[in-house]
Structure 1
């Protein structure tokens, strides 16, 4: 993975992307006690940054030809991104989703014409299910983060962010990224290495799924213990990716973790002060900007709001928490 790969993906998919805004609010800055800017990827097509990586991968596959369709596994945001990208390419899509995925994400995936295959995330392996379906139906697998073209597509977010940060007068500071397997975090870090070297990327995770934070501290890939739970379904992953972790280890600062309650508070703050809907897993970066000031120094912070596909019940809890 190099910046040139990201640049090639950006040139290929730019006409299809939304250029999401970098938002700022005086009230939010006052709450955080520092300058905080929010990259609103919750406003991207399908409601999350995942469309970028999916579009990059699917357009590359379509250009090669020779497959009968696309398969992916996801709790929802990658699912919707792949489903839309496949639909736009005229390819059938099969998406393997956990049976406890938010209803809105399952329905959203089906709305893009994809076939949804549900599984028990605690008893079954999505990788095994995906590999079997790919082999028996001649489908090309698009992994959610450990996929070069997916990482490259996510890196286009970093290219936008670098340009927008310069325009906002931010050349040094921390970039907080909601992190599951590390596709977006590594893609942004690669883009900023060349385009904005004064910005340091920091992964942010739920407390119960802090595998990236622990792996960075240990210098090797560590997994999560079974049985953990979190409302941040979009970034609940077993461990960092084999492709993403070396990038994270080379380019990122220490990881940060937040509680589910802090993620809910961040959802409420985003709704009140920025007028955007952010799902729990997409709010943890903003939660860290609000609640982990002691770990961030005094420079400005850019938080990436990675997704807005909030379950209605969870969103209602966040709305009730608006001060």
Structure 2
């Protein structure tokens, strides 16, 4: 392997790893707040790229109909519950978050995104569509069983993934897509040539991580979310709503999933079912952080990107196998380092 080849592989690894950092961070956030291993996070990434590709082709993306149907079902469930309890505030909240907001986004996607529209506008509408899917998915699938065991929540997450994959095949088709990326001449640093796409992905990931940090440290909603992540029951005792925290976590998950799809779409061909592999790679990074420690999860995700890039050169047929093997020593070490606690008999 020459230095030039190693430099190119390192660039690809860091660029992919930057996206996996976002994915791992969201998986850790959602798990610590809701105890849900959010398997469908990868599906949101794939749907984001497929949605943008449909806008670029001048078609109405299937995401519009997924959002419209999901919002209608969520509005019926949330509105019916609030009406039964005669909770006017809850009814108004349901009408806003599952009625007015999704309707505005759907109408925008249907009538205000022509084929000749600027790429940034198409990206913005794509982000709005996918972000809105996050809390709707939480309301339909996870909120009714929020108090269930982590195993039941994991089964529900896997079921949601297969449901989204089936819907994705129906509305998007089986063809893969690549979306437009950061255009422009490459940057030359000494003997190293760095593509605009690599710079754009890394910069975007750093900005998003910084914004998330500011959100958690400066905003009231972010602090409430962190409180729920550190101690769910303690947060409830001081008035932090577990339902609101879960919904906020899924809004963040939807937003990061949308942006991640836009970032990774130009670097690899994505299909309706590509989300599962993407989600697993982010999950490997999250496992390094024990699904609780953000810096370790970020480092683990970056390691996944680098290993994937170099494995594609040395043994491309076994690239994914090598990446997923990373989880074995981590789990073995944690099984030795963590104390074993006997389960109480019921």
TM-score (norm. length: structure 2) = 0.28
Q: Which has the higher contact order (CA 8 A, sep 6+)?
A: 2
Greater Rg over alpha carbons, structure: 2
Greater helix proportion: 2
Greater strand proportion: 1
